[in-house]
A and B are shown apart, each in its own frame.
Chain A
């Protein structure tokens, strides 16, 4: 009740703090409102609904012979689907125990030993590694070789040598039946 009994207080102190409060709350509300208004302008840059809708691809595995690879496009990126032979599988499993740059077992990277499915984008700076065609260099570990900055990947798509920091990415995929997979 002090303010009422002392009019000076009411004008000087209280009035001043009330005004400060109004200034601060105006600034806060304005900033928050501005942020809300800015968000659609930023989020419009993220993938649009039609881009997201294209995010699954089905692959028929039947025509791929042992030792062959095919490249399919998923979300605008190449996906390598490799039908591995027994030797490649054996090499990949043997190397589970050696020192790896990005340690992962071969078993954790495949759903069925015969089929290796990888995003064919080098994890360094996004180039497409060579090794899909029989004529191309496969690198020192018999998998893939990125010509841009010299990264070598093994028959499980793991990084073994060069500047790339991680193994070739495994996309989400599922076997619809024995001969068809759905990526994404």
Chain B
């Protein structure tokens, strides 16, 4: 019988179910980690933390929420006014969604900057893209549940996107709605699926971590781990660093929960849903604005639409472009042909990385503005650049750029600072 641990009960369990060594090898002292990770590597564990917060607050909210068109809005107001600490739980859940996306976007841009998507971590990256898609579906359906005006009209506009599909579009929309408009059947199924999706995300996260642990974390230098010297154990070094990151993050998060709980929200969503009156200006939550800008960029006079104008409507082109903007990330490991991961050693790529960051921010800004005048043109230029970045700039730059001299190992620049 195994005698790995001092405690005989632990040993008894370990012999039958090796869970202690599994945990130790996953996030304990048995998991080696590159020793040069910087704070941008905190956001993964932060995401795990936010996911748990969302599931715990979500389950407790579901104990008081009523998924019916006549009662949903009032049950949320009851949570806010009458349920003990209901206001706190709901504000944590509501702002938690914004935090989740803020953190995941930083996590993704970290991966883009340091080339974490490159071999042998392609699948790790692709699973991450699927996690993002699952998060988006979850957030969209969750936003519908309070049954305010933005909930209702957001659901109407987004489900109507599927009507752009030729031939079967209308049947698909009816299937999604369970009726002939967004109604009680729609609310019910969104509640059911909103409860399900986080657990699918948990499953994807486990696979994400599995793939991560196979080849370990990438690092700011982007060079492979060469020896034991390049690593330190996850526990206690990164457990404590991640806990510190979570503490800092909580200060930021709780500022919004307690002092500006509706900062990320839309006032219109405190008006009960009215199927006969559309709000003057429909906007999605901030984390969907860049995609919304891409969707709306496709009009008859957008030059990217011209080549396909004979085949599909502008509306369908916009829908395809919006989904492609995320699905393109799946191909990034092959679009980028550079042998070097980290942008620290790829000066031209680094410049285009920052231009891309600005482009995404511009798209987000345009997505929140009405589609008129200069906003249309700026949105179309930013959309064209978004696709050019992935389909033209990255493939060419990564294959032609002259990269800087890489350090021979992770330890080298740590022990002997370069220059």
Which residues from chain A sit less than 8 Å from chain B, CB to CB? 42, 45-48, 51, 55, 71, 73, 75-78, 124-128, 147-150, 163, 165
Contact = CB atoms under 8 A, between A and B. Distances in A.
B315 A45 contact: no
Given A47-B185, A73-B276, A124 B180 contact: no
Contacts of A46: 174-175, 178
Contact of B299 (A47, A55, A163): A163
A124 B296 contact: no
B179 A51 contact: yes
Nearest to A162: B299
B296 A78 contact: no
Interface in B237-260: none
A102 to B, nearest CB: 11
Given A127-B278, A128-B278, A149-B296, 10 more contacts: A47-B185, A75-B181, A125-B157, A125-B315, A126-B156, A126-B157, A147-B281, A148-B278, A149-B371, A163-B314
A147 B281 CA distance: 8
Contacts of A75: 179-181
B183 interface: yes
B178 A148 contact: no
Given A75-B180, A125-B156, A128-B277, A48 B313 contact: no
A71 B296 contact: no
A146 to B, nearest CB: 8
Contact of B180 (A76, A147, A165): A76
B180 A150 contact: no
Interface in B276-330: 276-278, 280-282, 296, 299, 313-315
B349 interface: no
A47 B174 contact: yes
A77 B280 CA distance: 18
Contacts of B183: 51, 76
Interface residues of B, number: 32
B103 to A, nearest CB: 30
Contacts of A51: 178-180, 183, 185
A150 B282 CA distance: 12
Given A51-B178, A75-B180, A124 B315 contact: yes
Contacts of B372: 150
A150 B178 contact: no
Interface of B: 153, 156-157, 159-161, 174-183, 185, 189, 275-278, 280-282, 296, 299, 313-315, 371-372
B181 A48 contact: no
Given A125-B160, A150-B372, A45 B189 contact: yes
6 contacts: A48-B178, A48-B185, A126-B157, A147-B278, A163-B314, A165-B315
A147 B153 CA distance: 13
Given A45-B175, A45-B178, A163-B299, A127 B157 contact: yes
B282 A148 contact: yes
A126 B275 CA distance: 11
Nearest to B69: A76
Contacts of A45: 175-176, 178, 189
Given A45-B176, A51-B179, A149-B296, A128 B280 contact: no
Given A125-B160, A148-B278, A165 B313 contact: yes
B67 to A, nearest CB: 15
Nearest to A123: B163
A100 to B, nearest CB: 15
Contact of A47 (B178, B314, B315): B178
B18 to A, nearest CB: 35
B160 A126 contact: yes
A147 B280 contact: yes
Nearest to A124: B315
A88 to B, nearest CB: 23
Given A45-B189, A47-B174, A76 B181 contact: yes
Contacts of A48: 178, 185
A125 B161 contact: yes
B156 A55 contact: no
B233 to A, nearest CB: 47
A165 B165 CA distance: 13
A71 B276 contact: yes
Nearest to A164: B315
A182 to B, nearest CB: 17
B180 A77 contact: yes
B292 to A, nearest CB: 11
B116 to A, nearest CB: 37
A97 B285 CA distance: 44
A163 B157 CA distance: 14
Contacts of A78: 275-276
A8 B180 CA distance: 66
Nearest to A44: B178
Contacts of A55: 180
A84 B60 CA distance: 54
Given A47-B174, A163-B314, A163-B315, A127 B185 contact: no
